[in-house]
Structure 1
Amino acid sequence: MESGRKPPVDTIFLFSISEEIGVGASSIVTHDIASMVAIDNGAVAPGQGSKETGVTIAMGDMTGPFDYHLTRKLIDLCRENDIRFQRDHFEHYRSDNASAVEGGADVRTALITFGVDASHGYERTHIDAPVSVAQLVTAYVLSEIIIQRDAEELGGLEGFPDQPHEAARGSQGHRTD
């Protein structure tokens, strides 16, 4: 509101405390929502890339990887807006994205987190982490749609994006590395 800018598309905020038991966003994501960015805490622990500073952009959780294009957009927004960030993968973690997709939602998914020392009790973090999350959410909400077919209620295959792996593929379309 302070910027005077208007988001290019409607933004709906869902607050859930039940993602770990599979309810979360299982029935709330309607057919006209193209992208879902979940926000949660990210444990700072050995083997994890999360920090108590900056925003952590997750590449995936225990249910698999998140959407390449949406995740890349979040990383680009951090770089363009000088928002401190790091990447992580949460192997033993379930986000609201899983319950939305399992509930039948056809959405691009991404996850951003703020690093915490502990969860489900006394949680501790540096003020920079939630501030960085808020800066990224603001930049995302005000950003233009990069995949125009996502603005259409029902799109065909035209304009469907590819992941840039062609250089790493062999002659039969399979990865060679």
Structure 2
Amino acid sequence: MSNYPNIEETKALIKDLVTIPSPTGYTKDAIQFIENRLAKSHVQTKRNRKGGLIATLPGKDTRKHRFLTAHVDTLGAIVKEIKDNGRLKIQAIGGFPFNFVEGEYCTIHTVGGEKITGTILMHQTAVHVYRNTSELKRDTENIEVRVDAVVKSEEDTRKLGIEVGDFISFDPRVETTDSGFIKSRHLDDKASVAILINVIEKLVADQTELPYTTHFLFSNNEEIGYGGNSNIPPETVEYLAVDMGAIGDGQRTDEYTVSICVKDASGPYHYGLRNHLTEIAKANQIDYKLDIYPYYQSDASAAIHSGHDIIHGLIGPGIDASHAFERTHESSLKHTENLVYHYVQSEMVEE
């Protein structure tokens, strides 16, 4: 157990995941990657109609189930309009201000399968031409994509196969540092996806019998609010979302511990499950922080809003600069993975 988790393997898997484009609505490649990987361990999986993937590990008790989720969908954009000059107007997918992606490299994914690169810029970027560029609003009127092709008109761009409704993914620019950090876009929530995959593979490799049948949903609509609100078996008692912990002024969450959420914008999480998670952490030398996320809702929140009668909780690695250029530390990944690993082997909380 001393060699688990192998954080170098976790970081390598995160790097693989963040480089697979998967803005909400265009997650098929990421889901296929996870499905193929779990198939190597002979894990039972199935797709739901929304395109998410559910992996199931049988447990000793089949009358009560557990359900864990992490989301594979990320922030992104979509082509709203092709301008007269051949550049693209876009709309955001997910909640972020456009200044968070200004200057970012991106890829346009055409219906025909072409991948055409570009850069997200203000229309009024040239300071030698536009005096007030710093004062202008970063919005759908002023932000555009400069396509990396010789295009001078709307017709030129359409000839490339680009059309309204094409998805746009952001370059993750993933890097790891000698000091233990991993920085990249889309750590929300691909860091947690990697953690769930690792836990599943560890349990299967060790032939660990879980106390309860446990489902792992890799959801694909979380960034727009309803990723994990369906396909929850009626036997499910506990539902744990594994998502990022939010860092900022007034927050206890940091990049070095696992964050256990007490409350977010949807309301308090289950008191008994929260205390159960903290007791597991204390018993296993897992560093954790309790926290409240004021502008946040999880897949577990979506499940509650959908009317499911479940005990719900939320944990995750601390992610700095959420929905921008994110960063976390390997120690946070280690503590989160350890907490998930021990949680799925624990007894359920008293209802």
TM-score, normalised to structure 1, is 0.78
Superposed, 1:1-177 pairs within 5 Å as 1=203, 5-147=208-350, 161=351
CA contact (8 A) 1:35 1:108 kept: yes
Q: Please name the residue that 1:164 is paired with.
A: none
TM-aligned CA distance change 1:146 to 1:94, over 3 Å: closer
CA contact (8 A) 1:40 1:95 kept: yes
User: What is the alpha-carbon root mean square deviation over aligned residues?
Assistant: 1.5
Q: Match of 2:219, SS? A: coil
The number of equivalent residue pairs is 148
Give distance in 1, aligned partners of 2:285 and 2:317.
Answer: 17
Give distance in 2, aligned partners of 1:120 and 1:108.
Answer: 28
From the two aligned structures, give the one with the greater strand fraction. 2
Give distance in 2, aligned partners of 1:105 and 1:25.
Answer: 11
Give distance in 2, aligned partners of 1:10 and 1:143.
Answer: 12
How far off its partner does 1:28 sit? 2.1
CA contact (8 A) 2:270 2:312 kept: yes
CA contact (8 A) 1:42 1:56 kept: yes
CA contact (8 A) 2:318 2:328 kept: yes
How far off its partner does 1:122 sit? 2.7
Which letter maps to 2:309?
D
CA contact (8 A) 2:273 2:349 kept: no
CA contact (8 A) 1:20 1:94 kept: no
How far off its partner does 1:78 sit? 0.2
Q: Match of 2:290, SS? A: strand
State, as a whole percentage, how many aligned pairs show the same letter: 36
Give distance in 2, aligned partners of 1:97 and 1:65.
Answer: 11
Give distance in 2, aligned partners of 1:62 and 1:20.
Answer: 15
> What are structure 2's unaligned runs of at least 5 residues?
1-202
* Larger relative contact order (CA 8 Å, sep ≥ 6): 1
Q: Please name the residue that 1:169 is paired with.
A: none
CA contact (8 A) 1:11 1:141 kept: yes
Q: Match of 2:322, SS? A: coil
Deviations 1:46-97 (A, max 9, x none): 1111110110100011010011111110000000001000110011111111
CA contact (8 A) 1:26 1:100 kept: yes
Q: Match of 1:92, SS? A: coil
